[in-house]
A and B are shown apart, each in its own frame.
Chain A
Amino acid sequence: MDADLQNALAIAILGLSLTAAAGLFLWGLMALLLEYSGDAKKVAESQRQRSELQMAAEEAGSEGLPSTAAGEHRAAGLPRAQLVLAPASGVILSVAVSPDDEVAFGQELCILEIAKVKNAVRAARIGRIGSVKVAPGDAVKQGQVLMEYSG
Chain B
Amino acid sequence: MDLSPFLIALLTNLASFTFGNAVMLAIGAAMLALGVARRRETSLLLVPAGFGCILVNSGFADASGLFKLVNDVGVQTGLLPLLMLVGAGALVDFGPLLAYPRLAIYGAAVQLGIFGILVLAVVWGFHPSDAASIGTIGALSGPAAIFVTSRLAPGLLAPVTVAAFAFMSLLPAVRSAIVRLSTTPDERGRHLGNTPPPVSRVVRLAFPVLVALFVSLIAPQAAPLVAALLLGNLLRESQVVNLLSPPTRYALIALAAILLGLAIGMLMEAASFLSLATLKIFLLGLLGLALNLTLGFLVGKLLSRLSKSRVNPFISASIGISATLAAGDTPPAGGNTKPTAGIPIDAIGANAASLLLGVIAAGLLLELTSIAH
Residues of A with Cβ closer than 8 Å to B?
Answer: 4-5, 7-16, 18-20, 22-31, 33-34, 37-39, 42-43, 46-47, 49-51, 53-54, 56-58, 60, 62, 64, 84-89, 91, 104-107, 112, 114-122, 124, 139, 142-143
Q: Does B27 contact A (CB under 8 A)?
A: no
Instruction: Report if A11-B105 is in contact (Cβ < 8 Å); known contacts: A29-B210, A30-B97, A39-B203.
Output: no
Say what secondary structure dominates the interface of chain A: helix
- With both beta carbons as reference points, the residue of chain A lying nearest to B369 in the complex is identified as A11
Give chain B's interface residue range (CB within 8 Å of chain A). Answer: 35 or more
Q: Is the CB of B365 within 8 A of A119?
A: no
- Could you tell me the distance between the alpha carbons of A18 and B357 in the complex, rounded to whole angstroms? 11
- Could you tell me the distance between the alpha carbons of A11 and B368 in the complex, rounded to whole angstroms? 6
Task: Mark each residue of chain B from 41 to 76: 1 if its CB lies under 8 Å from any CB of chain A, else 0.
Answer: 100000000000000000000000000000000000
- Could you tell me the distance between the alpha carbons of A22 and B32 in the complex, rounded to whole angstroms? 38
| A104, chain B: closest CB distance, angstroms | 8
Please name all residues of chain A whose beta carbon is closer than 8 Å to the beta carbon of B93 when the two chains form the complex.
88-89, 114-115, 142
Q: Is the CB of B195 within 8 A of A87?
A: yes
Q: Is the CB of A105 within 8 A of B101?
A: no
| A37, chain B: closest CB distance, angstroms | 5
Q: Does B344 contact A (CB under 8 A)?
A: yes
Inter-chain residue pair count (beta carbon < 8 A): 246
Q: Is the CB of B343 within 8 A of A87?
A: yes
Binds A, one of B7-15, B160-168, B283-291, B325-333: B325-333
Supply 27 A–B pairs (Cβ within 8 Å), ascending by A. A5-B122, A8-B119, A11-B128, A11-B365, A15-B361, A24-B108, A26-B353, A29-B214, A30-B104, A37-B202, A39-B200, A50-B192, A50-B195, A54-B191, A57-B340, A60-B338, A64-B339, A88-B93, A88-B96, A88-B196, A88-B345, A116-B327, A116-B329, A117-B348, A119-B331, A124-B340, A142-B95
Q: Is the CB of B118 within 8 A of A11?
A: yes
| A130, chain B: closest CB distance, angstroms | 17
| B367, chain A: closest CB distance, angstroms | 9
Please name all residues of chain A whose beta carbon is closer than 8 Å to the beta carbon of B251 when the two chains form the complex.
none
- Could you tell me the distance between the alpha carbons of A9 and B120 in the complex, rounded to whole angstroms? 10
| B108, chain A: closest CB distance, angstroms | 3
| B239, chain A: closest CB distance, angstroms | 10
